[in-house]
């Protein structure tokens, strides 16, 4: 097949897709593409106002699109549970665990987790568990979990998961992105007969994600540098969304795959299956992380 683009996205009519972080960046680009393909997309977002504005913009472009905005704050397990309780769908065909934060100063979620680990991994772990029965109700459900090339530098520090003793913003980010893949692969091993779980990464895409760290630190110089790099080097958010869209809708996935850009240094280019780091395939670490995540979130998978 030629390089996979959004034009290859199959007809998604009758399918329900939940996308976290759907109001900006890669999540918004994926939402627009899925809605254009006929899916009913649940935009799961912390900022409902921003999501409603983007929903209206998509409807102007695609008047027949089916979009629902629901509040979801992955930094608050009460919000995650409320989202699952209030979600008025009987089945979910695809769950895109996409939202995240990157390289921010140390802070904690409402439940006392280090924010990057809490939002990027634990929030999505809990969400997936709470939605599992509705995923099981779909004929061929998929869970797509967004990681990053930074996962290769990650290591799960079970003695200091929340980096209370030694915090480095990039180390914490890499740990959370490795956790995303360990979770995606373990989910596939545990539920391979009932769903397809795939990991992905966007390469280097120009989104607001790169700005949050400099903004939180109040660094105008770093913010200016990131904006310049995004403008010169990065691919668009729409191109960055292609690996997630490919993992969510393309044929040929058995589960346990990892999808990313197939271009220079895996930072840009068409989506293709790739190998992730050796640590990401460590089953003992994945099982331990699963147990720790259930204990931390109070969400036990059926």
Q: What is the mean pLDDT of residues 226-239?
A: 66
> Which is catalytic among the residues 8, 167, 173, 281?
173
Reply yes or no on whether 173 is catalytic: yes
Q: Which domains does the chain have, with CATH numbers?
A: 12-204+242-296 (3.40.50.720)
Angle between helices 242-249 and 25-36 in degrees, nearest 10 = 40
Confidence band for 213, pLDDT divided at 50, 70 and 90: low
> What pLDDT is recorded for position 2?
67
Contact residues for 222 (Cβ-Cβ < 8 A; gap 6+): 213, 214
Q: What percent of the chain is modeled with pLDDT above 90?
A: 87
Confidence band for 266, pLDDT divided at 50, 70 and 90: confident
> What pLDDT is recorded for position 205?
82
C-alpha separations of 231 from 207, 224, 227, 234 in Å: 10, 11, 6, 6
Predicted confidence (pLDDT) at residue 208 exceeds the cutoff of 80:
no
- Which of 234, 54, 266, 256 is CA-nearest to residue 148? 266
Confidence band for 232, pLDDT divided at 50, 70 and 90: very low
Tell me the whole-structure pTM to 2 decimals.
0.92
- Which of 233, 235, 279 is CA-nearest to residue 258? 279
Confidence band for 216, pLDDT divided at 50, 70 and 90: low
Model confidence pLDDT, tens digit, residues 131-148: 999 999 999 999 999 999
Give ∠ CA 250-6-59 in degrees, rounded to 5: 115
Q: What is the mean pLDDT of residues 200-228?
A: 64
Model confidence pLDDT, tens digit, residues 170-194: 999 999 999 999 999 999 999 999 9
Q: What percent of the chain is modeled with pLDDT above 70?
A: 90
Predicted confidence (pLDDT) at residue 245 exceeds the cutoff of 80:
yes
């Amino acid at each position: 097949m030629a390089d996979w683009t959004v034009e290859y996205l199959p007809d998604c009519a009758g399918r329900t897709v939940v996308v976290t972080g759907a109001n900006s960046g890669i999540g918004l680009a994926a939402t627009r593409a899925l809605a254009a393909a006929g899916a009913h997309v649940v935009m799961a977002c912390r900022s409902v106002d921003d999501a409603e504005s983007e929903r209206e913009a998509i409807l102007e472009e695609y008047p027949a699109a089916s979009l629902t905005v629901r509040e979801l704050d992955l930094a608050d397990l009460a919000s995650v549970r409320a989202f699952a309780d209030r979600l008025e769908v009987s089945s979910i065909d695809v769950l895109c665990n996409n939202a995240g934060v990157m390289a921010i100063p140390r802070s904690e979620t409402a439940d006392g987790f280090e924010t990057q680990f809490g939002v990027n991994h634990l929030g999505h772990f809990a969400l997936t568990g709470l939605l599992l029965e509705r995923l099981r109700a779909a004929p061929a459900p998929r869970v797509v979990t967004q990681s990053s090339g930074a996962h290769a530098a990650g290591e799960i520090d079970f003695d200091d998961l929340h980096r209370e003793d030694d915090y480095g913003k990039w180390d914490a980010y890499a740990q959370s992105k490795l956790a995303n893949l360990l979770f995606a692969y373990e989910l596939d091993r545990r539920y391979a007969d009932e769903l397809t779980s795939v990991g992905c990464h966007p390469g280097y895409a120009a989104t607001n994600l790169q700005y949050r760290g400099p903004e939180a630190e109040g660094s105008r110089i770093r913010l200016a540098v990131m904006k310049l790099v995004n403008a010169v080097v990065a691919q668009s958010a729409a191109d960055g969304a292609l690996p997630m869209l490919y993992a969510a809708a393309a044929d040929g996935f058995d589960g346990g795959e990892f999808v990313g850009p197939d271009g220079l240094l895996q930072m840009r280019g068409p989506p293709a299956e790739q190998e992730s780091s050796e640590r990401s395939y460590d089953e003992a670490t994945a099982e331990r992380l699963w147990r720790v995540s259930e204990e931390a979130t109070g969400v036990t998978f059926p």
